[in-house]
Amino acid sequence: MDEVTPDAAITPDAANEVVAPAPERSALGATITWVRDLAINVVIAVIVILFLYQPVKVEGTSMMPTLVDQERIFINKFVYRFGLADIGRGDTVVFWFPRDPSKSYIKRIIGVPGDKVQVADGTVIVNGRVMQEPYVPDEYRDHVSMPSTTVPPDEFFVLGDHRSSSNDSRTWGMVPRRYVYGKAVFVYWPIDRLGLLH
């Protein structure tokens, strides 16, 4: 004889019970929820843009072929500000132009504090060794020379990848660390150039 435990027993009332559908939310309630969710998302986006990433537009050809004119990129403003990473040789950085801080430039870090940097007929020499620069194709090189100079503390020597089209540290000197406000990390437009920057 099969037994049914009390927990599993079905009473006649329960067997015939009908669950009523939940009342529909009013249009006003749905609108308020949608507006609230939108506001939260906007606040989160603003926080991310202000403190982590910022979209910027590249203007000019000094960083070709790595970056092209009118390209849109994201820069990471968080990584240097809070000391999560040091500004390193090879980083592509965005900074306030030392001679006119109302303007922003984007260049590549070549010399860090303490480095001895020299340019001989277009060849960059750092601390007595020729720097390997696969990001500078032969057609973008020039034959400019610059005597050896030591990068001061808290300053950086920067160059554009398009050497024959770049206004950089060879002309106007070093970039103070306090002027560097972001690292270029990602191209988001045009779509065919989408990807991480190196």
Residue spans per domain, the chain: 57-196
Residue 42 has pLDDT above 90, yes or no: no
Mean of the per-residue pLDDT values of the chain: 87
| Alpha-carbon gap, residue 74 to 40, rounded angstroms | 22
- Encode burial over 98-135: b for 16+ CB neighbours within 10 A, e otherwise: beeeeeebbbbbbbbeebebbbeeeebebeeeebebee
User: Of 62, 77, 169, 183, which residue is the catalytic one?
Assistant: 62
**185 and 196 in contact (C-beta within 8 Å)?**
yes
Looking at residue 71, its amino acid is E
Residue 101 pLDDT greater than 80, yes or no: yes
Sign of the CA dihedral running 188, 193, 195, 197: negative
d(CA 148, CA 37): 57
Q: CA 93, CA 79: separation in Å to the nearest integer?
A: 11
In tens, the pLDDT along 108-142 reads 999 999 999 999 999 999 999 999 999 999 999 99
| Angstrom distance (rounded) from CA 183 to CA 52 | 11
State the pLDDT at residue 84.
Answer: 73
62 catalytic per annotation:
yes
Is 107 catalytic? The answer is: yes
| Mean pLDDT within 160-179 | 96
- Confidence band of 6 (pLDDT split at 50, 70, 90): very low
| Contact call for residues 157 and 111 (beta carbons, < 8 A) | yes
In this prediction, residue 50 has a pLDDT band, given cuts at 50, 70 and 90, of low
State whether the Cα torsion 83-89-90-92 is positive or negative.
positive
pLDDT confidence band for 45 (50 / 70 / 90): confident
Share of the chain above pLDDT 70, in %: 85
pLDDT, residue 14, reads 46
Q: Of 77, 107, 166, 169, which one is the catalytic site residue?
A: 107
CB 181 within 8 A of CB 94: yes
Q: Which residue has the higher pLDDT, 44 or 176?
A: 176
Q: Give, rounded to a whole angstrom, the gap between the first and last alpha carbons of the chain.
A: 76
Q: Evaluate whether the domain defined by 57-196 bears CATH number 3.40.50.300.
A: no
77 — pLDDT class (breaks 50, 70, 90): confident
DSSP state of 190: S
